[in-house]
Amino acid sequence: MNILSSSILSGVVLASTLFAPLAAFAQNGQVQAQANGRVYTGVVSNIQDGNLTLRLSNHDELKVRADEAKLIRRFGADMKLTDVQVNDEVRIQGKTQEDVFVAKHLQDLSLQARNGVFVGTVASVDAAGKTLVLNSRARGSQTIYVNADTKIIKDDHPVAFLDLVAGETVRVTGVWDRTNQNVTATRIEITTPFAKMHIAGVVKEHASAGVLTVLSDTNGLFTVEIQNALLVSRDFERTHQKMVGVGDRVDVWGRAHRGSVTVRAYFVHDMTAVPSERHVLTLSDNHATIQMHVGDRVMLRLGQGYLWTSSSSDASVLARVNENTSSTQGTYEAKAAGQAELTATGDPRCRLSAPACMIPSLLFQAHVDVVVNES
C-alpha cells in the first residue's frame, strides 16, 4: 500500500470513528434520530457569523450553529469553519435547541484531505472581492480566495494583496474545494524570475552596510547590494566596500527581479577609486618610518627562522587584518589618520629543541604615519 492510499485510508477511519455512533446518515433529506442527536446531509446555501443555512434534498432549510462543532474535511483532516463555502456538501450531527440546530460534528464533503499546492500564472485580480483567477499548470483555471490569514510573500518579504498583478507567476498553498473548484489560500508566493542588470552611474549614498544607492545615467535610482560582489578599483585591482565612496562613478553588474529597483550585484567596477597601496617591511626596515594612506596595508616579512608575534600601539589608526600566509608574519591596515608603532618580537625556533639554544630574540619596530587620502 502506498503512502497516499494509507493516508486516505487513515482519514476514512477517522471520519468513520467520528460518526460511528450515528449508525446511519440522512438520505434524500430525511432525518434519522440517534442517541447522540440527529444527522443531516445537505448543501450550504448561506454563511453568516459562524452560522450556516443548510439546504436539504427535500428543499427544506435548516439553520445551523457550528461555532463549537468538531470540524473535519472529506477524508478526516482538521479544518476551520472559515473553510466552509456556499454550495459545499456537508454532513452534520447535533441537536435542535429552540429554533436552531446546534452541530456537535461537521464534515465538509467538498474539501480535500489536506492543503494542495497550485502553481501558475495570475489571469486576473479582483481587489474588491479579494480573489484572483489562477491559470494553474495541473488543474486549469482556479479561483483563489484570500482572507486575513493568507500570507503573501515576494522576495522573501510579506506584501499586500494589492501587490498581486496579472501576469505574475505564483505558488499557492491552500484548501481545494472540489465542489466549487476554488482554493482558499493560506500562502501565496510571488515567484518573479531574476533578470541580468547592468547599471552605470554615480554613488549617491551608503544606505547601510554593504548597500549603495546609485543614480544611473538614465536617472533611475537603484538600491545595490554589494555584500557578495567582486569589487575592483579603477585599475581593476581588487578593493573593498569602504573604498567605494559617495560620488564615485561605478559600473554594476547584477541580478534583479522584474520591475524591482533592488539589484544583487556580483561585480562592481569603481572607476574613481584608486587601489590601496601595499607596503612590505623586512628586517632591513627595522626602526624605519613609513607613510601610509587610509586604506593602505602593510605586510611583515621578517623571515621563517623565528617565531614572530606582532602588534600595533593604536588599533584605531593601524589594525591587524586576517590576511596571514606562510610567508608573512602579519598584515595591518591603515584605518584613520594618526601615528602608531608597529612592533614584532621573534623567538628563535631552536628554543623549542632540547637542549634549547641560547640565540637571543629579535625586536623589530617601525613607525607608521597615516594620512588622509587626497581628495
Q: Residue 61 belongs to a domain with what CATH number?
A: 2.40.50.140
- Check residue 2 and give its pLDDT: 44
All three cell numbers of 173, joined, read 498553498
Clarify whether residues 180 and 203 are in a common domain: no
Clarify whether residues 27 and 81 are in a common domain: yes
Clarify whether residues 57 and 17 are in a common domain: yes
Among the candidates 78, 108, 138, a domain finishes at 108
Clarify whether residues 101 and 28 are in a common domain: yes
Clarify whether residues 202 and 288 are in a common domain: no
Clarify whether residues 297 and 264 are in a common domain: no
Among the candidates 59, 89, 108, a domain finishes at 108
Clarify whether residues 152 and 96 are in a common domain: no
> What is the extent of the structural domain holding 99?
3-108
Per-residue confidence of the chain (375 residues) as pLDDT tens digits? 444 344 444 444 444 444 444 333 333 333 444 445 789 999 999 988 878 999 988 888 999 998 889 998 877 777 888 888 888 899 999 998 888 999 999 998 887 755 678 899 999 999 888 899 999 887 788 889 898 889 999 877 899 998 888 888 899 998 777 666 678 888 999 887 778 899 999 999 887 788 999 999 998 999 999 999 999 887 787 877 877 878 889 999 999 877 788 999 999 998 876 556 678 899 999 999 999 988 888 889 888 889 999 999 999 999 998 754 566 788 899 999 999 999 999 999 888 888 888 889 999 999 999 998 764
Number of domains composing the chain? 4
Quote the pTM value: 0.38
Give dist(CA 318, CA 311) in Å, integer: 9
Clarify whether residues 150 and 176 are in a common domain: yes
Give dist(CA 19, CA 39) in Å, integer: 9
Among the candidates 138, 155, 190, a domain finishes at 190
Structure letter (DSSP) for residue 5: H
Clarify whether residues 97 and 145 are in a common domain: no
Strand partners, 180: none
Check which CATH number belongs to the domain holding 299 and give it.
2.60.40.2020
Give dist(CA 173, CA 118) in Å, integer: 6
Clarify whether residues 23 and 70 are in a common domain: yes
Clarify whether residues 11 and 100 are in a common domain: yes
- Check residue 274 and give its pLDDT: 59
Check which CATH number belongs to the domain holding 156 and give it.
2.40.50.320
Clarify whether residues 289 and 239 are in a common domain: no
Long-range contacts of 27-34 (CB under 8 A, 24+ apart): 28/57, 28/58, 29/56, 29/57, 29/58, 29/59, 29/60, 30/58, 34/93
